[in-house]
Structure 1
Amino acid sequence: MVIACFNYVNLSFSRVFKQLYSLHIQKLMGARSGQLSMQLFADTFMTVGFGFLIAQLIQFDLLGIMNRIMSIQVPVNFLYSSQMLPVTFGFILLLACIPALYMSWRLPDMSVSMYNNFYRGKAKGRIITSLAIVQFVISFILIIGNISVRRQISLLYDKAENYKGIYIFSVGDNKTSMLRLKENIGSLSGIQAVALSNPIYEWPLSEFSPNGTYESYTSEDGDEEVMEVMGYKLLKGLPWKEVIERYPHPVYLNRTWAQSLFPDGELPVGSLIKEYEPRLKDRPPFGDDHVIAGVVEDYFKLYIPNSLETPVDKGIIGFARDGTDLKVRIAPGNASVIKQIYKEWDLLYPGNYLEHESLYDKVLGNNKKLFELSDLLMMYSVISILLTCFGLFGMTLYAIEQRTKEIGIRKVNGSTTWQIIKLLDRQFIIWIGIAFVIAVPVTWWLLNQWMQSFVYRAAFSVWTYILSFFIVVGITLLTVSWHSFKAASGNPVKALRNE
């Protein structure tokens, strides 16, 4: 809205100059001031009204996209309800009547010399410059923000990559054994590994503290294939399949928990876990045979909320010969094997319920807000760039009209077309440079505040700012260079005669 209002002002400056000549001709032909005022009012009012009608057509196409981005359901008929219509028409009348009344009151009695003194002075030049710089600043903020959010999404994809191809099959109760299904599908083409496991639980380590927080840990257990299916990386200790043959209940700690228990790096393999973490003594399921077997790399949480905002906490993996869930790692490009798994299930338990979910989709789905923010910034960035281009169109006309005589004199004195283009484009490059200097600290502060909510953060890159600079410069030059070339390649004698 800010950019659109600035564009309206800038375009009016270039448009009014041409309207004055038409008005004076009409006066000479006998038109009265009242008639000219009515003509200007109708012209401005209809311009806004026509824009509103076009917006209504676009609105039908974009409403569905907006609902998807914002995860809302606004019906089309709401836009024409008793709640919205008064607001909409009030807004349209405000946008249409104020400039229309000003134009119809001011222009009929204004001469070209009065226009030159009022609209072409240094004060108005500073206003135009300020408005242009603000537009570029907004564009920079949106583009840099959009690129930064995209980098954060790339980090999310990297974190979720390990879970691509992993599916959990469950029946929703603890009565139906999944062991027979595991035996039947283990040899299917496209299946890399199958493991019986139990759901991941979060257990408290301590009671609530006075400030309302408490420590907890996540517990996951599975059979001899669970480490292969989940792809957990062993950092220290004995291999999984070796340790389950040696101990009845081995446990693996994640790196975060191991570092808090063993800061010196020494890992007491074979020792009871509850001897080093006294808070586990009275916590199920730890007994006198749960021993430390090793340390695995920190893994991305798989329960809600499992997002980039969720901190790495204490985690433990144990051994269980049976489980209520079936975790399956499927080779890339073999998702069709899921249908075969359901066929095997129907043969074993005809008519019984079975469901599955993708861990990869679950991780991405629990970061839905990040994708929504990215879509919003992308939409705003595109709108901002389009509106800025429209504004540049008007400002270029305005700048060329101001310097018509100067361009003609320079051409007569031997300036080349390329030199004239550089002269006309230079002020826009200066505006972009000033806007860039303003936008960099502003976006850095905004992004830093936004990043505080994330535990996992994409690394800062100066290329984000450099890329945004070249995007804005490229779009600006594409927008203004046509007018600059047309003015620079014109007949200087004609320009001086018209001036």
Structure 2
Amino acid sequence: MYNIKLAIRNLLRQRMGTVINVTGLSLSLAVCLLIALFVQYEYAFEKHNPEAKNIYRLLNDFDGERDPIHPLVFYGKLTDAIPELNDGVMVDLNNEDYFVVDNEQWILSGVIQTTNEFFDLFNIQMVEGPQNPLTDASSAVLSRSEARKLFPDGNAVGKTIRQRNNYDFTIRGIYEDLPVTTTYRPNLILNIHAKEVTDNHQYTSMKNESIHFFFRLPENADQASVAKKIREQARTAYGIDDYKGTYVFQPLTDIHLRSSDTTWDSTERSDIKVVRLFIIVAVLVLLITLFNFINLSVALRTKRNFNTGMQKIMGAETRNIFSYLFTETSLLVGLCVVAALFLTSLALPYFGKLMGAEMDFTLANPVLWGAIAVIALFNVLLPVLVQLWYQMRVNPSATIRSKGRALPKKGNIPVAQTLTVVQIAISICLIVGVVGINKQFDLLLHKKLGFNKENLVTIHNPWSDNMNQRYKLYKQELEKLPSVSGVTGTWNPPGHTLNNGTTMFYESAGEKRQLHLRAAPIDGDFFEVMQTRFLMGHAFLPTDSNKIVINEKCLQNMNVKDPIGIKIRHGFSNRDYEICGVIEDIQNLSLQNESSPAVYYLEPELWVFMVRLNPGDIRKTVAEMERLWKQVEPDQPFRLSFVDEDLQANYTREIRTRKLLTIMSLLAIFISMLGLYGLSMQIIQQRTKEIGIRKVNGATISEVLGMLNKRFLFWVVAAFIIAVPLTYYAMKKWLETFAYKTELSWWVFVLGGLVVLLVALATVSWQSWRAATKNPVEALRYE
């Protein structure tokens, strides 16, 4: 009890040091707790599913490009031929589709098509209806929340919903909403066998690759052996003796965080690199605060040395001094923990919204208290041990004679100076890292995309029997508008997933070859409207019904100099074509990965209009386009989006990461400078007599300022020398994960050093100026 009273009295006596320590540690602890909750959320995916560890997604690896999509008909061939694959399911991740419910139009997201096995593998619990509700091709089931939205009266089972005005599904059941930490969280599940009617080509063709396969493998299964069997089946199914593709199994628990290298993947996912980056930031912020804590504790040792000297002369042992230091530091850290919990509860909703993560704050969370225990332990023990080391090396008699100013023996490592340099180096690393990350993201957001994204919009053309007629009629009406400069069509507009995988076969130098790529059906004027540059050949002519255009990546993979005139068999349409042109790569999704090889061919039935607008009143033009749509197709919704916004949406994770890293880096610098302010204050107070004597002897204010700031300038320079190679290596490694990367310019490092230098000098110069302008008589009287 005595130690507690003494600790409280000392903490109140040293108010400025206490405030700085509490502010810095509370903020950094709150940052660490927020990141700990975020990491817990990211690693929690599929942990609720007891079978998740045995479930795998099948990936096709073709020339180093891994994709999760396969022909629907291939699933049955695999399960019939390979016993290890008998326990699995095929899934079409439609994600979004158009439905009519009770004569009301709905655009529903989270739509998938699958079979009853999905409910078992993904641990879906039925609320109404049987556990295996997809009893026939027209069966459908809704999540509890989606059923409540579509059928507010609560009577969803037995009701009919119509997909795209051409196929009716009957609701057979309702299932419990899946946890937010579920990789695949559908709102509406349809029977995949309906595709026999709605999309027979996809249902029967080995050339249409768009279905995900999941398998629950036995724990002792030889995955490499099973993968070889799958490849053998692929050779037979595709009719290719030298089929180049290989297969790998990806654990279901890895999909959310470890799928950044997969292509043609519509799964919403995060990135393990981002999670690790935030862990590093949390550790750095914690280190800065810890060093602050230690430095200020050591800097405040003058009065404590005097008290300690008196205690040692009175017979106090090391354990008594340790007990007091431990009590004082524990009280301070305990106060910071309470403040940090309060700050975390306030900031978590905003933090979760920024990161796109649904996280809850609860004091019953073991991860929360685990993080607090580890952080608190370090922040109590290390400062106590350092203070104890300092104080026990000071001669008590010398301490009493010098009124507490006696220092440890010469030759000891200057702990405070070392920690300060490391602390400043961390701040420089964070500044350089944030600038480098922003530079990389700016490259991704503004790099050439192979087309002009400005004033370009997409309009959805729903799949139906009359979609071809609707396309022609609406295109004619749009082309009459003076505000429209061009109209074309495609299946996969920029900003959306490319899921039309196929294999192209051709001959070169007398050798039969094959290439796995993306098939892109388009209208004849697609390249003109998109303003895409041709590298070789020409665009489609009116008579080019059997011609095809390839992109630059496809040309590179073909390994031929001049592809014009080469005959190929296009697997997706199962037709023979001749290459007539080569275009620059059109980047549909994120530039984190390289462009996929692609072929473009003419197709009359197109799902998406691409409309190029003239500059002007865009809002008025959009209203006119909607009016024309309602004239042409009053029964279908008008769905328009801007291509630049669709592309921007692909960088949502990167934009969020950039914002949060910037905020946390600024916070870390603030904490660092807060500690530097407290340290400079203590150092200057200890040199008050020296300053007074120098001024009496004629020293000017500028000379005193230079004397006081010189050591801080030296610390920043030393920290810069340490930080540059470390940051360069870390940034170089991080940039290697991008297909398109920025240069690590010299000015990025100089900027980081200058920012920290200016902030540090501004921080300490205020204290220095006050000391330099103080009346020397008052300074000597103070001493």
Coarse TM-score class (shorter-chain normalised): 0.7 to 0.9
What is the deviation of 1:11?
1.4
2:416 alignment partner AA: I
What is the deviation of 1:235?
2.8
- Specify whether residues 258 and 282 from structure 1 end up closer, same or farther in structure 2 by C-alpha distance, changes over 3 A only: closer
Matched, 1:14 2:299: yes
Matched, 1:59 2:349: no
Matched, 1:309 2:599: no
Matched, 1:167 2:457: yes
Q: Aligned partners of 2:548 and 2:723: how far apart in 1?
A: 51
Report the equivalent of 1:415: 699
Alignment of 1:339-488 (within 5 A): 339-488=623-772
- Specify whether residues 97 and 262 from structure 1 end up closer, same or farther in structure 2 by C-alpha distance, changes over 3 A only: closer
- Specify whether residues 38 and 134 from structure 1 end up closer, same or farther in structure 2 by C-alpha distance, changes over 3 A only: closer
What is the deviation of 1:73?
1.3
Matched, 1:250 2:539: no
Matched, 1:143 2:431: yes
Structure 2: gaps spanning 5 or more residues: 1-285, 311-315, 493-497, 506-513
Higher helix share: 1
Q: Aligned partners of 1:384 and 1:318: how far apart in 2?
A: 54
Report the equivalent of 1:292: 579
1:180 alignment partner AA: L
Instruction: Give the secondary structure class of the aligned counterpart of 1:116.
Output: coil
Q: Is the 8 A contact 2:547 2:579 kept in 1?
A: yes
Matched, 1:72 2:350: no
Q: Aligned partners of 1:9 and 1:347: how far apart in 2?
A: 74
Matched, 1:202 2:495: no
What is the deviation of 1:473?
0.6
Q: Aligned partners of 1:119 and 1:375: how far apart in 2?
A: 45
Q: Aligned partners of 1:48 and 1:425: how far apart in 2?
A: 31
Instruction: Give the secondary structure class of the aligned counterpart of 2:657.
Output: helix
What is the deviation of 1:38?
11
- Specify whether residues 256 and 42 from structure 1 end up closer, same or farther in structure 2 by C-alpha distance, changes over 3 A only: closer
Deviations 1:252-294 (A, max 9, x none): 2223333555755x564xx2x32xxxxx336243645x33332
Report the equivalent of 1:181: 474
Q: Aligned partners of 2:418 and 2:651: how far apart in 1?
A: 39
Of 598, 602, 608, which aligns to 1:325? Answer: 608
Q: Is the 8 A contact 2:550 2:583 kept in 1?
A: yes
Higher strand share: 2
Report the equivalent of 1:338: 622
Q: Aligned partners of 2:351 and 2:448: how far apart in 1?
A: 27
Q: Aligned partners of 2:735 and 2:384: how far apart in 1?
A: 47
2:610 alignment partner AA: K
Q: Aligned partners of 1:343 and 1:119: how far apart in 2?
A: 85
Instruction: Give the secondary structure class of the aligned counterpart of 2:476.
Output: helix
Q: Is the 8 A contact 1:247 1:291 kept in 2?
A: no
Instruction: Give the secondary structure class of the aligned counterpart of 2:502.
Output: strand
Matched, 1:116 2:409: no
Structure 1: gaps spanning 5 or more residues: 26-31, 207-213, 275-279
Q: Aligned partners of 2:428 and 2:680: how far apart in 1?
A: 20
Q: Is the 8 A contact 1:178 1:323 kept in 2?
A: yes
1:144 alignment partner AA: V
Matched, 1:225 2:525: yes
- Specify whether residues 43 and 130 from structure 1 end up closer, same or farther in structure 2 by C-alpha distance, changes over 3 A only: closer
What is the deviation of 1:230?
2.0
Report the equivalent of 1:209: none
Moved more, 115-124 or 386-395: 115-124
Of 410, 416, 428, which aligns to 1:128? Answer: 416
Q: Aligned partners of 1:345 and 1:313: how far apart in 2?
A: 34
Q: Is the 8 A contact 1:179 1:196 kept in 2?
A: no
Q: Is the 8 A contact 1:143 1:468 kept in 2?
A: yes
Q: Is the 8 A contact 2:692 2:776 kept in 1?
A: yes
What is the deviation of 1:383?
1.8
1:222 alignment partner AA: I
Q: Aligned partners of 1:321 and 1:88: how far apart in 2?
A: 59
Report the equivalent of 1:28: none
What is the deviation of 1:164?
4.0
Deviations 1:296-352 (A, max 9, x none): 22221x2xxx32231233222233455232112345662564344333323322232
Report the equivalent of 1:154: 442
Instruction: Give the secondary structure class of the aligned counterpart of 1:453.
Output: coil
What is the deviation of 1:58?
2.8
How many residue pairs end up in the alignment?
470
Report the equivalent of 1:29: none
What is the deviation of 1:144?
1.0
Q: Aligned partners of 1:436 and 1:324: how far apart in 2?
A: 56
| Greater relative CO, 1 or 2 (CA 8 Å, sep 6+) | 1
How high is the sequence identity, in percent, across the aligned residues?
Answer: 25
Instruction: Give the secondary structure class of the aligned counterpart of 2:520.
Output: strand
Report the equivalent of 2:534: 234
Q: Aligned partners of 1:95 and 1:336: how far apart in 2?
A: 62
Q: Aligned partners of 1:252 and 1:93: how far apart in 2?
A: 63
Moved more, 488-497 or 109-118: 109-118
What is the deviation of 1:24?
11
2:701 alignment partner AA: T
What is the deviation of 1:42?
7.7
TM-score (norm 1): 0.80
1:167 alignment partner AA: V
Deviations 1:425-462 (A, max 9, x none): 11111111111111111111111111111111112211
Q: Is the 8 A contact 2:549 2:601 kept in 1?
A: yes
Deviations 1:359-400 (A, max 9, x none): 333333333342343233213211210110111012202321
2:486 alignment partner AA: A
Q: Aligned partners of 1:44 and 1:309: how far apart in 2?
A: 46
Instruction: Give the secondary structure class of the aligned counterpart of 2:618.
Output: coil
Q: Aligned partners of 1:48 and 1:338: how far apart in 2?
A: 59
What is the deviation of 1:179?
2.2
2:551 alignment partner AA: N
Q: Is the 8 A contact 2:326 2:381 kept in 1?
A: no
Q: Is the 8 A contact 2:478 2:625 kept in 1?
A: yes
Q: Aligned partners of 1:405 and 1:480: how far apart in 2?
A: 19
- Specify whether residues 423 and 331 from structure 1 end up closer, same or farther in structure 2 by C-alpha distance, changes over 3 A only: farther
Moved more, 430-439 or 46-55: 46-55
Instruction: Give the secondary structure class of the aligned counterpart of 1:2.
Output: helix
Q: Aligned partners of 2:373 and 2:741: how far apart in 1?
A: 44
